[in-house]
Amino acid sequence: MKQSFHLNLEIIFLLLLVSFVLFAGCQPKSVTTDAGGWDSFVDEFIESYFIAHPDVAVDAGRHEFDGKLPDWSPAAFAREGERLRVQRKRALQFDPAALSENQRFERDYLVSRVNRDLFWLESAGWPYKNPQFYANSLDPNVYVSRAYAPTAERMRAYVAYARAIPNAAEQIRKNFRIPLSHAYIDIGKILFGGLASYYAKDVPGVFTSVVDAELQAEFQKANEAAVGAMKGLEQWLDQHRATTTESFSLGADLFSGMLRETEGVEVSIDLLEKMGREDLDRNLAALRKACQDYAPGKSIPECVARVESAKPEGGTLEVAHHQLNDLKAFVIARDLVTIPGTEEARVAEAPPYKRWNFAFIDIPGSYEKALPSVYYVAPPDPGWSKAERDAYIPGKAKLLFTSVHEVWPGHFLQFLHSNRCRSKFGRVFSASTAFTEGWAHYAEELVWEAGLNHGDPQTHIGQLLNALMRNARYLSAIGLHTKGMTLEESQRMFREVAYQDPVTARQQAARGAFDPAYLNYTLGKLMIRKLREDWTASRGGRNAWHEFHDTFLSYGKPPIPLIRAAMLGASAGPAF
């Protein structure tokens, strides 16, 4: 059944692709269609995207695609680039006058997602040098941790996934163009080596309750092959460490192209840097004031060390769990934004292949029903020194704003809204990191402004330490990719300007090399704050925050300039 279903999907994909090409070739430049024509096109787009990207389908909750991985051959990449261009052309051929206001917005949203995919696939060339291109697709978490089906059924899906890993690993190896930057080698080892460890040590325990002996034997064979494939890929990268280069910079033109094609933002790099430094200076001034109140007579490093020494009593996971309850109550009490639905998020330890950053949240897709989200927190690496391990565990004030960012009212609340978006496309697709990460970072400052912990300076310092880390990301992204900044200089910025611990500084500087878009935390926050100021100015100011937040989150996850134009109309003006 699995094999015949796979062949049917391939046939459907070919038929869809042929129909798209024929449609694009025979239509005039402007096509007048009714509302049903556009809605049918959106449905076609989603289905064809899922066929090309089965991992995206599975993550969204379409489990008929379980166990499948994308084709990562160069020929498949070429086909995907052409498919996306055909889809973009079709979307732009719809006459705006024939579409409703919501459909016109959805069309621009869809085109922005296509532009985003094409940038990373072709302009940036990510498949050929950056292991992070493959990270989300390789993640087995959906089979292991999401209880969307009985354990035996998820085990069968995992077996199919594991059987696909050796071929995927071989395609990835062939795609990488040697020599690679050492930054890419390092993240590749964390990703591929972490997956091998996770397959071997963690996954088997999840499926021990399955009593089907034949299925267990199939699992063991497939899982061992997957472990070997990921270990082999990790070792292959290690073999090329001697030939690594320092060449990871996008360069100014490509960096500007990234902002334009992935966020709809056109701004000079000099102005971009100026805005970032102004926000950094604002946060540093606030830190100086908070430290005067919290630790009079102490230097800022001494003040920060004191705040960070107040570690979570009972462990990071336990304290984070209690923080979520308190934060949800605060959001409700201050009426900051609507909480749609009754879903909750739980807290868990991050798996090994996801420990290149301290925390993240896994949220079930819009096709899933009644599944919990998981807020993952990474423990210190046992290979670090005791001093590094101790410093890596955040103080409870800093952890509080990580919990804000990931859950209430950050990412988790954001996705509660987007999963109920009026646009089907908006429920499925994100087209903007500045929207998703910008909102979560904006939420940190929002709850402080709204009176979290009644103006307590220790709490404020926790918020500011998170903000300063994002400021350093913003300036490091610009510096590393357009100004010749070195990783050592970036690391020093995280230590001396953002007051981060040594391990976090090292991780964050390294991330800047393979993730130039991590400036979008601050970039998004700045755009959201400006939009809030402009939109609420004639609607009651702070009294309109709740309405602003609900309206902003109602659009899905599109580029913020699109939302700005929709919310402000002809008076939209610049995003900054």
pLDDT band at 17 (very low <50, low <70, confident <90, very high): very low
Of all residues in the chain, what percent are helix, strand and coil, respectively (each to 5)? 70, 5, 25
Report yes or no on 254 lying in a domain. no
Question: What is the rounded average pLDDT of the residues 133-160?
Answer: 95
Q: How many CB atoms lie within 10 A of CB 84?
A: 22
576 falls within a domain = no
Same domain, 368 and 439: yes
What is the identity of the amino acid at 288? Answer: R
> What's the rounded mean pLDDT across residues 212-229?
98
Spatial separation of the C-alpha atoms in residues 42 and 40, rounded to whole Å:
5
pLDDT, tens only, 265-303 = 999 999 999 999 999 999 999 999 999 999 999 999 999
Picking from 482, 488, 484, the residue whose alpha carbon sits closest to that of residue 519 is 482
Closest by CA to 470, choosing from 511, 503, 429, 431, is 511
For residue 14, the model assigns a pLDDT of 38
Q: What is the pLDDT of residues 448-494, one digit of tens each?
A: 999 999 999 999 999 999 999 999 999 999 999 999 999 999 999 99
Q: Are residues 117 and 138 in the same domain?
A: no
Count up the domains in the chain and report the number: 3
Domain closes at, from 216, 243, 270: 243
Q: What mean pLDDT do residues 124-148 have?
A: 95
> Tokens 């908070």 sit at which residue?
290
What band does 145 get if pLDDT is binned at 50, 70 and 90?
confident
**Are 202 and 345 part of one and the same domain?**
no
Tokens 């993952």 found at: 376
Question: Above pLDDT 90, what percent of the chain?
Answer: 87
Q: Does residue 24 sit within a domain?
A: yes
Q: Which residues contact 387 (CB under 8 A, 6 or more apart)?
A: none
Last residue of a domain, one of 124, 142, 157: 124
> What is the rounded average pLDDT of the residues 533-541?
97
**100 and 232 fall within a common domain:** no
Q: 7 pLDDT exceeds 70?
A: no
Residue 12: pLDDT band (50, 70, 90) is very low
Computed over every residue of the chain, the mean pLDDT equals 92
Q: Please report which confidence band the pLDDT of residue 152 belongs to, taking 50, 70 and 90 as the band edges.
A: very high
CA distances from 548 to 386, 531, 544, 567 (A): 46, 9, 6, 9
Q: Which of 213, 243, 273 is the last residue of a domain?
A: 243
CB neighbour list of residue 539: distance below 8 Å, 6 or more residues apart:
547, 548
Neighbours of 392 (CB within 10 A): 18
Same domain, yes or no: 205 and 118: no
The answer to the question of residue 456 being in a domain is yes
Shared-domain flag, residues 169 and 58 = no
What pLDDT does 297 receive? 97
Same domain, yes or no, for 239 and 368?
no
112 and 146, same domain (yes or no): no
CB of 512 closer than 8 Å to CB of 183: no
pLDDT of residue 356: 66
Q: Give ∠ CA 29-33-34 in degrees, rounded to 5.
A: 165
Best CA proximity match to 112, nearest among 5, 275, 264, 228: 264
- pLDDT recorded at residue 36: 57
Domain coverage including residue 494: 260-570
Q: What is the pLDDT of residues 353-392, one digit of tens each?
A: 778 678 889 999 999 988 889 999 999 989 999 999 999 9
Percentage of the chain lying above the pLDDT 70 cut: 94
CA nearest neighbour of 305 among 391, 401, 380: 391
DSSP 344: -
Q: Which helix (H) or strand (E) holds 45?
A: helix 35-52
Q: Tell me, yes or no, whether 251 lies in a domain.
A: no
> Does one domain contain both 554 and 468?
yes
Backbone φ, ψ for residue 349 (5° rounding): -80, 135
Helix (H) or strand (E) holding 376: strand 373-377
Tell me the HSE value of 489 on the side-chain side, using a 13 A CA sphere: 11
279/86 Cα distance (integer angstroms)? 41
Same domain, 216 and 182: yes
pLDDT at 355: 80
Least confidently predicted of 165-179, 180-194, 347-361: 347-361
pLDDT of residue 246: 82
Q: Residues near 409 by Cβ (< 8 Å), separated by ≥ 6?
A: 327, 331, 336, 337, 443, 446, 447, 549
Q: Are residues 202 and 337 in the same domain?
A: no
Given this model, what pLDDT does residue 398 score?
95
Question: Domain check: are 80 and 175 in the same one?
Answer: no
Q: Answer yes or no: is 252 within a domain.
A: no
Q: Distance of CA 120 to CAs 40, 74, 127, 256, Å?
A: 27, 14, 8, 13
For 93-139, give the secondary structure using H, E and C: HECHHHCCHHHHHHHHHHHHHHHHHHHHHHHCCHHHCCHHHHHHHHC
The verdict on residue 424 lying in a domain is yes
Question: Which amino acid type is present at position 192?
Answer: F
Residue 49: closest CA among 62, 37, 38, 33: 62
Tokens 């704050």 correspond to: 529
Q: Which of the four pLDDT bands, split at 50, 70 and 90, describes residue 252?
A: very high
Kindly report the pTM of this predicted structure: 0.91
How much is the average pLDDT of 431-449?
Answer: 98
Rounded distance between C-alpha atoms, residue 203 and residue 206, angstroms: 5
Residue 515 has pLDDT above 70, yes or no: yes
CA atoms of 100 and 111, how far apart (whole Å): 17
Q: Is residue 42 part of a domain?
A: yes
